Amino acid sequence: MSAKVQNPQLRQDFKAIPKQEFKQEILDTLLFTFNSPINGFSPKLSIVGQSTLTEFIINNGWNWTLDQLNAEADTHRTIEWNTFEKVERDGFPALQQGVYYGQMLDGLRNGLGIAYCTTHESSFWLFECEWKRGLPVHNGRYIKIQDAKWFLFQGTMDNSFHITGSGCMLNQEGHSYKGNFKNGLTHGKGEYKWPKGVSYKGEFANDKKHGKGKMTFKDGSRQRGVWDRDVQIEAGEVEVRRGKVVARKKMIGHF
């Protein structure tokens, strides 16, 4: 695929013609859709006319290849281009109307599929997952575009369209996390890595370091401690790379 996505002039006619196989030309139409205004919001475009989401898919691929989609697709379900209806989420911004391309059963999203929409906060969301009765289930991924930067989440989906359970996160600036989530927030045990070589491995709560953990710094030194909502309240010994205890420092504060 070339770096410049052209509109193949495919229309909403897809909805009237259920497809039994996923089609590359419709996936390409989704890429064009990512460059277009939706719900009154216009994505920021690069010098070659591509949105952040389109560029991400071109550079990194979809969650599944076309062959994987068709190999896993249930032949008893239709494959359609359809409307993604507005979804209210308790405690989270509603997902506004968008588009859906994937498997359907009895008028509901069911099977493998891709949904694209926004929130009222002008963030753009792409969901690539398995669906049951219109809701995401099992393992999947979603990409959130906020201020023209991408955030990728992959793991066990819940009814709020977030990761709950085991999963991982990566963002455009090089931050990453692997571990447990609750409603899309780091929660439980996991490891967070910053792009400059600093990491934290331990306990989290509501997207903050909370509980026992260990910081590893760029020079290889390590320190165990206890955190309370991102503030270190207890500090253990600092170890250098060779494992030698060099000091018992009170490195208390935000990290």
- pLDDT tens-digit profile of 104-114? 999 999 999 99
Q: At what angle do helices 24-34 and 52-60 cross, to 10 degrees?
A: 140
CB atoms near residue 49 (< 10 Å): 12
The mean per-residue pLDDT over the stretch 50-58 comes to 98
For residue 220, what are its two tokens?
């290889």
pLDDT at 245 over 70: no
- pLDDT tens-digit profile of 144-154? 999 999 999 99
Can you list the positions of beta strands (E) in the chain? Answer: 78-84, 87-89, 92-95, 98-105, 108-118, 124-132, 135-146, 149-157, 163-171, 176-182, 185-193, 199-205, 208-216, 222-228, 231-239, 245-247, 253-254
Specify the number of domains making up the chain.
Answer: 2
The mean per-residue pLDDT over the stretch 235-252 comes to 61
Say if residue 184 is in the same domain as residue 154.
no
pLDDT level of residue 91 (50, 70, 90 thresholds) = confident
- pLDDT tens-digit profile of 42-52? 999 999 999 99
Identify whether 2 is part of a domain.
Answer: no
pLDDT at 249 over 70: no
**So what's the pLDDT on residue 73?**
87
**So what's the pLDDT on residue 1?**
45
Domain end call among 108, 133, 161? 161
The mean per-residue pLDDT over the stretch 6-20 comes to 48
Say if residue 153 is in the same domain as residue 231.
no
Lowest mean pLDDT among 11-20, 98-107, 128-137: 11-20
Say if residue 19 is in the same domain as residue 131.
yes
Q: What are the angstrom distances between the C-alpha of 28 and each of 3, 35, 46?
A: 12, 11, 18
Say if residue 93 is in the same domain as residue 13.
yes
For residue 71, what are its two tokens?
């190999």
Say if residue 157 is in the same domain as residue 208.
no
**So what's the pLDDT on residue 240?**
75
Q: How far apart are CA 111 and CA 64, in angstroms?
A: 13
pLDDT at 229 over 60: yes
Say if residue 105 is in the same domain as residue 203.
no
Say if residue 134 is in the same domain as residue 217.
no
**So what's the pLDDT on residue 215?**
94
What's the CATH number where 180 sits? 2.20.110.10
Enumerate the H helices of the chain as residue ranges: 24-34, 52-60, 66-72
The mean per-residue pLDDT over the stretch 129-138 comes to 95
Q: Are 55 and 45 in contact (CB under 8 A)?
A: no
H/E stretch holding 237: strand 231-239
Identify whether 35 is part of a domain.
Answer: yes
Buried b (16+ CB within 10 A) or exposed e, 86-114: ebeeeeeeebbebbbbbbbbeeebbbbbb
pLDDT at 254 over 60: no
Domain end call among 132, 161, 190? 161
Its domain, for residue 247, covers 162-255
Identify whether 3 is part of a domain.
Answer: no
In the DSSP assignment, the letter for residue 14 is: G
**So what's the pLDDT on residue 154?**
97
Say if residue 196 is in the same domain as residue 255.
yes
**So what's the pLDDT on residue 255?**
45
In the DSSP assignment, the letter for residue 6 is: P
Average pLDDT along the chain: 88
pLDDT at 243 over 60: no
Say if residue 57 is in the same domain as residue 166.
no
Identify whether 1 is part of a domain.
Answer: no
Domain end call among 120, 139, 161? 161
**So what's the pLDDT on residue 20?**
79
Between strands 163-171 and 176-182, the pairing is antiparallel
Q: 225, 227, 226, 223: which is closest to 246 by C-alpha?
A: 223
**So what's the pLDDT on residue 9?**
42
The mean per-residue pLDDT over the stretch 198-219 comes to 95
Say if residue 170 is in the same domain as residue 182.
yes
Q: Which residues pair with 117 in a beta bridge?
A: 125
Q: What are the angstrom distances between the C-alpha of 254 and each of 60, 161, 211, 222?
A: 34, 31, 14, 16
Q: Which residue has the tokens 């993604």?
A: 84
Q: Which residues pair with 192 in a beta bridge?
A: 177, 200
